[in-house]
Amino acid sequence: MRYLYIAGKWTEAADGGTAQTINPFDATPLDTLAEAGTADVDAAVAAAREAFDGPWRRSTVTDRAALLAKIADLLQRDREQLAHTESLDTGKTVNEARADVDDTTAVFRYYAGVAGADAGRVVDPGRANVTSRITHEPVGVCALIAPWNYPLLQISWKLAPALAAGNTTVIKPSELTPLSTVALVGLFEEAELPPGVLNLLLGQGGTAGQALVAHPGVDLISFTGGLGTGEKIMAAAARGVRRVALELGGKNPNIVFDGTDFDTVVDNALTAAFLHSGQVCSAGARLIVQDSLHDSFVAELAARADRIRLGSGLDPQTECGPLISAAHRAKVERYVQLGLSEGADLLAGGQRPPEPNLAAGFFLRPTVFAGCHREMAVVQDEVFGPVVTVERFSTEEEAIRLGNDTAYGLAGAVWTADAGQAERVAGALRHGTVWINDYHPYLPQAEWGGFGKSGIGRELGPSGLDEYQEKKHIYHNTSPGPTHWFSG
């Protein structure tokens, strides 16, 4: 049984509600979870407010930096256990999960290092008897809601800067993959975080999540997930004029020019599209390939996709695990059928694997569609599964036009041997991250976020800390006297 964590104590839900989390590999139950309701949300927000108004408000930057550094150490101490939990819960390979733990560690270490690096600035008021300065203060109580695909990593992108800035928090992982987040909260308890600074709610987005974002005691909402939910959160935050930070996914172009190393670019295109079975907000699900390279490239891509090994994430031979749930696989399968009906050419995958040992899990073969064009829904929409579409182009200008022809703008890549071309295309693409001759790496010190419908605000880097800070101007007249503004 996994419990809620409120005001420094592990507790059942107020109404006794429970739910189960499921192993996507074979659909067997993994654990029983306390299911938070409105009363639990009220208790968590109240605990966070009390901590913010109390001892945490008096914490120093040095204290907070030391705490984050301690969490980083504990993450590495428990690396294998956390990776095992993350693999079971999400279905991703254990090697991917180990990388997630390492990346999460790097995030906590980064914010431990920069927590006090920017103490504000002094403003020249133009008067000898006045000092004027800008200070940074915490926003208050922050609701942090993470997605199911990278539960440990994504909550770290929010939690580390929120705590570094001096906020208190109520966190809610996805009901589909909460177990590594529960373990992370246990590390904070071990590190002796004061009660109420970090509160954990488990439960459904439509109940616990909705009550949390609507709660008037929440000062800031940070959410990573789907566009539709993000729009609802933004509307809820408008009541009370509360701050929001939203990362809402993307439909990311991966542009390939002729002249690049063939094996390298095919290999990286597979990783871009099929890492974590394509359940990645920045997945390179839109391949845009130059005419002269297109046919040989697509043939090799499809052949290699057909050789990808599916299985349990705990099996070292596995290259791709299952999708997260039966409902999500059904959604992806609907897009496969839609792509066929729209006239796309299915060159690989599109079906569930035939192996009997995979029948109980939520598997779908890596899928390659060629003959695609921008009017197709499978090209326009974020499928969020192991499906890649291939479009073709002739000129650099056409590649840029196609790359920007999306309502989203999270990430993209350009592959070319021409350095000048690489910089021109990267500069012209309207996406928050653009890789040149690479795909997927991120840096804790570099901002992450998107243009357009990919969201509002930035995570990571200095801007990731700014999201959780208020700026205050303190103007001090050191020699006050009458102004004689009014004659009386």
How big is the CA angle at 188 (ends 187 and 194), to the nearest 5 degrees? 155
- Measured CA to CA in angstroms, residue 105 lies from 101, 181, 444 at distances of 6, 14, 10
- Beta-sheet strand order (sheet of 198-200): 9-11, 4-6, 198-200, 168-172, 141-145, 220-224, 243-247, 455-456
Which residues, other chains included, contact 64 with Cβ-Cβ below 8 Å and sequence gap of 6+?
A: 115, 163, 164, 166
Q: List C-alpha distances in Å: 213 to 143, 243, 308, 455, 484.
A: 7, 11, 40, 17, 49
Residue that is written with structure tokens 């566009």 in the block: 227
Give the residue among 276, 279, 299, 303 at the shortest CA–CA distance from 289.
299
Measured distance CA(236)–CA(232) in Å, rounded:
6
Comparing CA positions, the residue from 201, 184, 150 lying closest to residue 12 is 201
| 247 carries an active-site annotation | yes
Q: Alpha-carbon Rg of the chain, whole angstroms?
A: 24
Q: Any idea what DSSP says for residue 358?
A: G
3-state secondary structure of 247: strand
What is d(CA 148, CA 154) in angstroms, rounded to the nearest whole number?
A: 9
Active site residue 142: no
Q: Write down the catalytic residue from 35, 175, 247, 333.
A: 247
Q: Are 339 and 378 in contact (CB under 8 A)?
A: yes
Beta-bridged to residue 198, according to DSSP, are: 169
The CA distance from 152 to 156, in Å, is 6
HSE (side-chain half, CA atoms, 13 Å) at 373? 3
**Active-site annotation holder among 86, 96, 281, 320:** 281
List, in order, residues 6 or more apart from 420 with CB less than 8 Å away: none
Whether 335 contacts 387, CB under 8 Å: yes
Cα distances from 330 to residues 27, 72, 431, in angstroms, run 15, 38, 29
Q: What is the DSSP string of 423-454?
A: HHHHHH--SSEEEES--S---TTS-B--SGGG
The catalytic residue positions are 247, 281
